[in-house]
Structure 1
């Protein structure tokens, strides 16, 4: 029968579609569980039932001994879900929840979560005293998942595949699988570990992969039994409601391992989003770029973090030029707009420790929300949380969350910018064009389809400037953050007065692409020339049925990235064949050098396709 739509079997789907969660519109909030909120009841406190570990003495309820547990737990997060929702958070990244070695080394307990004892059990110090710490039976964990999902907030689990625990009182790397001992560094019958010395040369590939960091027992990823174990353990967390993974120490395991790991995780849950920690990686470092592009997951953007911190603190010369220069390298990434961006985290002094000016923290945070990538807020930043002991280095960058003030200026700014990102796709999907740059002043436009934003920051003294070459509509515009009104005439903002340490965000959201099924196509690997643009053509009405005059246009993001959201109605739920074409202003066109792409569309909802020019 001609014209019949053939729906492939389930076994074919993985070859045809990528159904990964699109995190580009998300706002992440990173919580160190032990330092966020103690949700224990008064009765538990009085009875001393908050000390739930095997060994007593690892808690310090005075919050003076920085290496010990301070009492933050999952109930504390559950109680503050309304706070997170009002802040505009859409995804919560929790420090590792795995059961830890219940002991101390050099006056430090593993409150951070990176000395895993059992990958299938929860740290009992984070759950209720009468609860079970196995995944399937923990009521506390189930309540957390329900509370977050009920508020429309995704749960991101921090996972550690590179190492277990260091030597503590003669025990090292002793790992259990739901209570059953399966590995012991000092009795390594199953060959779960490498046994190489500490890393001394951080440029040596062999040492990075095989050597130890800080004495941590380093897993042997060549061992298939280890790989099967760690993948199975992480899948069990996905099964209880984890929506995305943050992956620790990405640079210390080979790319082939992460490719296998990512493939298996996404085979288990097709829409799983993953991002990894490639510590202090920069876009001009080839190894950083390889891990960002070839592991199947995104990475944390340490390069942008450094540029913003240097720009505001003045610890490196250049000011805002440092940020603009960093962004000029975006073309090296396949998915620069999915890098997870931040200005501080648990491994560096907080922003206020290196730049002790709350107004500049406000400017830096709003700038983070205006730039490409998925913004991540470190817990307490919205409350100006800081401790400057020893320069604010670890562990003093992890103070207890002391207040939950929904009226703080930075709380309100984060909430406003979160709403703006959710409503204006220019900030999540659009390209970026610099309009004015100096050491103290930075102005840029973001644009996607009919959505646009003009973002302007002055970290110095008051100034008057003129912005030219703007593509904003004529007339008055209202600023989202300052409340001021400005007037655009003939593509100019003439004699614009900038107060000292001020910012303006002008924005307008256009209509969103709608349809029974919407596919987001992102294309990399093509370097276009001025006057050229990209279209998508194919064998369906929505893509012009191979007629280039009716093909679907893509939006420019950077010189290596184009993007389009395509609504499908007639072809929803069917297989389509398509390819990308470069069109020039002189009638020139160039097709991809492949037969065609064969893709499966869902009958409804959204799907994303990440493509490389000329490659399936």
Structure 2
């Protein structure tokens, strides 16, 4: 046995409750120890000496280096003690807090067994139920649609279909989203994520002057109220963007500090090296190197109270359904714990999604965010679909490795995206290949978590890096690919299936194709994606067949086989 590869940590991503009496336990082993059987030896910690049970574990996930054995236990007594029994090549090993041993003294197990001492209800991370089958649609508000033609349009400085520059204003607004709700609903969208809508001098609004005022370019509080009401009436949630790491230098608080320096009551709201902030020398902390976005001191209790009051206001008064948190990994854990308690008290089903581009496990243990924008998924999709840096097996390894970063509940609430306002457009990245775009969307829809479609993806909107990734939506329907649009709708429609909402996931490779399965007892969906240059055929297990639910460049020639041409995909309902 490769002892160096073995890993188990109690009360962590390797041992966590998913219900008041249900526990997930994982054990990591080396890939070369593939021919290994693993059993969990477990009992109430007060009965471990005499009333132990043995339960077989299975390999739930595999990546390049490791296999991850997993088991879900239904407990009668939540005071659990356990060790692992490992059988390989006719030999038996035990794995406990003492590591790998060839024998184990069960009579003195209370010294070194692993344990989940107690499952306390308030330590559970509940899943926001509507996230499990949600389909998000991200809208960069200024570029989606202008609905209010009576507003002051003097700020608009570009034609609608021109390529935007960093300081371009096109005129999109909240009324434009209201007017296009039918399009959004027909696309199968169940949640909108809007980039910031509060008072700001920029087109993106990430430098907020007033958090309590809708920017007049976008509309009014009444417009937001109407959007939320109509969206809810159509089964669509609304998530807003919270920019709490930094603000605009035009805020009244920073302006007061500019005028009064250390004598300002707001001096400690910011992080300043000197008596006065110097906007030329930038002697204060800010977002990136942007002097016009001073960083807020979220360790300051007054700042915490100010920001939490804002977050709760828009939830309670306008019934929004959650917050996406901008630059969330640069803000203190303490603040996010305070933020979570306040938001969840106001609306328990409100979702909290952080903008963390990397492994965010310290924020995702149940006391801060529900999930993050899953840029690890984005990068894997770019490497597989756009760049060809990963084959099917390597892609399966990468996706499994990413899943093992988090608790199951977090994986079910992840915001999985192919692109956003901060990245190149995915359609451009795949060389404007519609087949590859559809295959990537199929993975996004079948994968565990909530898919997020960036506005315009359904019409193959192109674009490079910011600001080119923020082009205007082309509403000239004659330019749309109607066939592709229908396939996108067929894919979003799959999200209503129970295997997607509540099913387990398995990611592997088969016949040089990526295979993703979602399953419940008696129900199973299988996704096959072929990114090779040759047609591939998948032969089902003996006695099993399947029905093609949707696909592109794919067919089921018999119930027992599926053929997928290059760059195609097939979603198959499996016979049980």
TM-score above 0.5, yes or no: yes
The match for 2:146 among 18, 38, 41 is 38
Q: How many residues align?
A: 431
The answer to whether the 8 A contact 1:174-1:184 is kept is no
Change (3 A) 1:20 1:432: closer
Shift of 1:271: 1.7
Report what 1:117 is aligned to.
209
2:570 match: secondary structure = strand
Change (3 A) 1:444 1:315: closer
Change (3 A) 1:400 1:464: closer
Taking only aligned residues, the RMSD between alpha carbons, in angstroms, comes to 2.9
Distance 1:160 1:147 in 2: 25
Distance 2:500 2:123 in 1: 31
Distance 1:22 1:65 in 2: 35
Distance 2:192 2:537 in 1: 40
Report what 1:603 is aligned to.
none
The match for 1:339 among 401, 414, 420 is 414
Shift of 1:408: 2.4
Shift of 1:309: 0.9
Change (3 A) 1:60 1:17: closer
The match for 1:289 among 350, 361, 377 is 361
Change (3 A) 1:164 1:289: same
Shift of 1:18: 5.5
* Runs of 4 or more above 6 Å deviation: 13-17
2:506 match: secondary structure = strand
Does 1:309 pair with 2:386? no
Report what 2:79 is aligned to.
none
Does 1:92 pair with 2:196? no
Does 1:213 pair with 2:213? no
Distance 2:127 2:570 in 1: 36
Report what 2:544 is aligned to.
474
Distance 1:365 1:196 in 2: 48
The answer to whether the 8 A contact 2:505-2:519 is kept is yes
Distance 1:301 1:15 in 2: 24
TM-score w.r.t. length of structure 2: 0.69
Shift of 1:455: 0.5
Distance 1:151 1:196 in 2: 51
The answer to whether the 8 A contact 1:194-1:220 is kept is yes
The answer to whether the 8 A contact 1:38-1:73 is kept is yes
Change (3 A) 1:20 1:466: closer
Report what 2:246 is aligned to.
163
Unmatched runs of 5 consecutive residues or more in structure 1: 1-12, 103-109, 128-132, 166-171, 198-208, 283-287, 511-616
Report what 1:504 is aligned to.
570
The answer to whether the 8 A contact 1:39-1:73 is kept is yes
The match for 2:555 among 473, 477, 484 is 484
2:474 match: secondary structure = coil
Unmatched runs of 5 consecutive residues or more in structure 2: 1-120, 275-283
Change (3 A) 1:94 1:183: farther
Within 5 A, what are the aligned runs for 1:15-26?
20-26=128-134
The match for 2:484 among 410, 435, 440 is 410
The match for 1:364 among 432, 440, 453 is 440
Change (3 A) 1:143 1:211: closer
The match for 1:222 among 299, 303, 317 is 299
Distance 2:258 2:353 in 1: 28
